[in-house]
Amino acid sequence: MNTENHGVAEPTDAEQNLGPRAVHRALEVLTVVIEQGPLSLLEIATACGLPSSTAMRSLRALEHWDYVFRLDDNSYVAGARFVSSQIQVEAPDAGDLVEKASPILQSLAELTGESSYLAIPGPAGTCVYLREVQSNQAVRFVGFDGWTGKAVARANSAVGDALDGLTPQQGYVTKEAALTPEANVIAAPVTDRSGAIVASLSIAGPSFRLTGAAAKKAGAAVRDSARSLSALLA
């Protein structure tokens, strides 16, 4: 019997005691997607130091179990099973909500020229971001990148006001970003068939672009997009 390993290192005793190597690879891939996504297959493989074929096998398994979600551009973000584990409120199935919201978020980002986001209420006064579409503008705030799967405080935020039903008659909320004073956020509530608020759509961009008449035009776009998503949930 040929026992040659052809250059593949055998797992150490410590690694064997911690479980199969494939499990560690999958968990490493999942961690990278959660902390840095959305990421392409190549970006994930590079971050993990894995061949693309190995990273793909892990991603397929994680996608099968809904721990990661593949977007229309073939990049990966945290999936419905992972995100829903952070949620204590009843809401539409996270995967279904993301699927229905994705084309609306894409259109909203293209229409306004700003990054767009889908968020739902989370535990302990937070909101959890399920999906984002980044702006193609040369000037945008990188601090708003990679929010998919993150839970952040709702207090004193446009997204929080929209989720908490504090939306003015115009149908959207405009506020300075809590963490970035030079940015503004515009958010609107998304409702289900009973009229309950289950999510919010929002955009974020530099305050010099989201002000005055431009902010009103963008706000109307956010409001109308949120109503379109609400109609799909009815």
Name the DSSP letter for residue 143: G
Tell me how far apart the alpha carbons of residues 192 and 230 are, in angstroms, rounded to a whole number.
Answer: 6
Read off the CATH number of the domain in which 44 is found: 1.10.10.10
Identify the domain containing residue 35 by its residue range.
13-78
| Residue 4 within any structural domain of the chain | no
Tell me how far apart the alpha carbons of residues 93 and 62 are, in angstroms, rounded to a whole number.
Answer: 18
Which among 218, 213, 129 is positioned nearest to 171, based on CA atoms? 218
Kindly report, residue by residue over 140-167, the tens digit of the pLDDT: 554 556 677 777 778 889 999 999 999 9
| Residue 3 within any structural domain of the chain | no
Contact 224, 231 (CB under 8 A): no
For the whole prediction, is pTM greater than 0.75? no
Tell me how far apart the alpha carbons of residues 32 and 51 are, in angstroms, rounded to a whole number.
Answer: 15
Kindly report, residue by residue over 108-146, the tens digit of the pLDDT: 999 999 999 999 987 667 788 888 888 877 655 545 566
Residue 101 sits in the same domain as residue 200: yes
At residue 65, the pLDDT reads 86
Residue 184 sits in the same domain as residue 221: yes
Read off the CATH number of the domain in which 159 is found: 3.30.450.40
Q: Which residues of the chain have pLDDT under 70?
A: 1-19, 37, 71-72, 80-95, 123-124, 138-146, 179
Q: Last residue of some domain: 37, 60, 78?
A: 78
At residue 180, the pLDDT reads 73
